[in-house]
Structure 1
Amino acid sequence: MYALLVSLLTATPLGTLASVQNTVRQTQTYAIQDWYDGSNFFSEWSFYTGADPTNGNVNYLSMSDAQSQGLAYVNSGDNTLVLAVDSTSSVPAGGYRNSVRITSNNVYSGGLFILDAVAMPVGCGTWPSFWTCGPNWPLAGEIDIVEGINNQKHNQMTLHSGTSNPCTIDVPANGTFTGSVLNQKCYSNQTADAGCSILDSDSSSFGYGFNEAQGGVFAFLWDNSAGMSLWHFARANIPADITNQSPTPANWGPPAGFWSSATCDIADNFYQHSMIFDITVCGGWAGGAYSKSGCPGTCSQMVANASNFADAQWVINYVAVYQ
């Protein structure tokens, strides 16, 4: 969530999965540890009400306020959770729109994390993210599983490490994933927080493309002994073992992104993470890159356009954590 825009022109395309040493434990079938859906999100996750750390034009609401304003609710028909930005109120240019940010009460230091979403927030000025973060940022690390801005078409996956123990993206000659490297160095601090990013090659992995595919699944495997892998599957391509709640990553083919333990001490850099959903507006990244995003006017002006945020909402089937 702290990641800044890195020029896509510097992206380095990589090959497909080939290295057995990078797939330790992917042959394992995982069992459910925690399952979050419309029945328990409001009891198992907390609403953040502080200032937006990315300097976005948002007011994050409490659970009661978000529910009363229709910005956080469960659809009775299909049990999906909806988290949204206010799209009806009159807000001046450069003002602040009400929005939502929620954090899981449980913390994790590894596992297989699966997000099934029907839709994600879209629109100029929006900056949605599904991420995990440890205490005392950046010391315990941050993992951006789903993130992008404005009219971006591809998901940007990023690790942020904060220790003196080096952490970079491994780029072996035979390749290990299908995405494109934007930045190799994961170390981040308050003034240099790009992290080590990989751009998904699939245009259905983010924004309008994701929504037009009726959403899909992101599967993130955090394995301290092998590394971290991230897959995206459009709705029509979700593996049967995920649907059947017996996920086996070895069946899924090459991931979109991979960060090897060979060049990053995973356990030292990432631990005790909570999961987070949020939707900010403008801010350091979406606002800073606004003029290059093909959006009209300025981001400050777009804040005042309530109708622009009509589709700025997460619609979530479930989040599952397997071990």
Structure 2
Amino acid sequence: MPAGNCAEEYSSSGCRAQATTPKNYGDAFNANGGGIYAMQWTSSFIKLWFFPRDEVDQKIQDVIGMDPDSVDVSAFGLPETTFAGGRGCDVDEHFKEHRIIFDTTFCGDWGGNSWPSRCPSVAGKKRKESCEIYVGAHPEKYKETYWEINSIMVFKEGT
């Protein structure tokens, strides 16, 4: 969705990026054994890549296994998305103190009413209420809900 000011348009939802790599989330991601997400963050841009587990070739494994001071992300190929800085978007001003958060959110991407149409309906209830009722009444549906993290690697560009 094109926007002139992603921080303010569309209810402060931010700029949207549509992933095109298959198996990047959900059941297909799980069935494939996950994958590798990579991010390069500089003062000029933020780039994101995703590699499905069954497509991680030796070249990518070699790059990830390298000395942190010599990682060459050009071997990753085209990124899934690029958020470019420039006029009106100072990356260093708007992006700082990055935190990696693993979150399982029910009834909305932002923990509430952001995507209520994804929830099952309960007669006479609003969609958000319906979802909360369903999730609360069916804990057995989520017994296999967990994150399995093999590793997290953070590299800092040499100075």
For this structure pair, what is the TM-score category when the shorter chain's length is used for normalisation? Answer: 0.7 to 0.9
Amino acid of the structure 1 residue aligned with 2:14: G
Residue 214 of structure 1, CA deviation: 0.6
1:205 aligns with 2:24: yes
Partner of 1:255: 79
Deviations 1:299-321 (A, max 9, x none): 12321211221232111111111
Using the size of structure 2 for normalisation, the TM-score is 0.74
Which among 39, 42, 51 is matched to residue 233 of structure 1?
51
Pair 287,274 (structure 1): closer, same or farther in 2 beyond 3 Å: closer
- 8 Å Cα contact 1:183/1:195 also seen in 2: no
Counterparts of 1:284 and 1:210 in 2: how far apart (Å)? 18
What is the DSSP-based 3-state SS (H/G/I as helix, E as strand, rest coil) of the residue aligned with 2:54?
helix
Equivalent pairs counted in the alignment come to: 138
| Larger proportion of strand | 1
Q: In the alignment, what sits opposite 1:272? A: 97
- Partner in structure 2 of residue 319 of structure 1: 152
Tell me the equivalent position of 1:187: 7
Does the aligned pair in 1 maintain the 2:63–2:73 contact within 8 Å?
Answer: no
Contact 1:220 1:229 in 2 (8 A): yes
Q: Secondary structure at the match of 1:322?
A: coil
**What are the within-5 Å matches in structure 2 for residues 3-22 of structure 1?**
none
**One-letter code of the match for 1:299?**
C
User: What's the offset of the Cα at 1:242?
Assistant: 3.8
Report the alpha carbon displacement of residue 244 of structure 1 after superposing the two structures with TM.
1.9
Query: Structure with the greater relative contact order (CA < 8 A, sep ≥ 6): 1 or 2?
Result: 1
In structure 2, C-alpha distance between the alignment counterparts of 1:284 and 1:235, rounded to whole Å: 25
Could you say which structure has the higher helix fraction? 2
TM-score for the superposition, normalised by structure 1: 0.39
Q: Separation in 1 of the partners of 2:17 and 2:153? A: 23
Aligned residue in 2 for 1:20: none
Give the equivalent residue in structure 2 for 1:45.
Answer: none
Deviation at 1:261, TM superposition (A): 1.8
What is the RMSD of the two structures over their aligned residues, measured on CA atoms? 2.5
Residue 17 of structure 2 aligns to a residue whose secondary structure is strand
Q: Does the 8 Å contact 2:37/2:51 carry over to 1?
A: yes
Q: What amino acid maps onto 1:314 in structure 2?
A: W
Pick from 41, 57, 60 the counterpart of residue 222 of structure 1: 41
Whether 1:300 and 2:132 are equivalent positions in the alignment is yes
- Within 5 Å, give how 1:40-189 maps onto structure 2: 182-184=1-3, 185-188=5-8
Does the 8 A contact of 2:63 with 2:75 survive in 1? no
Q: Which secondary structure state, in structure 1, belongs to the residue aligned with residue 11 of structure 2?
A: coil
Contact 1:287/1:299 (<8 A) preserved: no
Cα distance in 2 for partners of 1:286, 1:278 equals 10
Among all aligned residue pairs of Structure 1 and Structure 2, give the percentage whose two residues are the same amino acid: 28
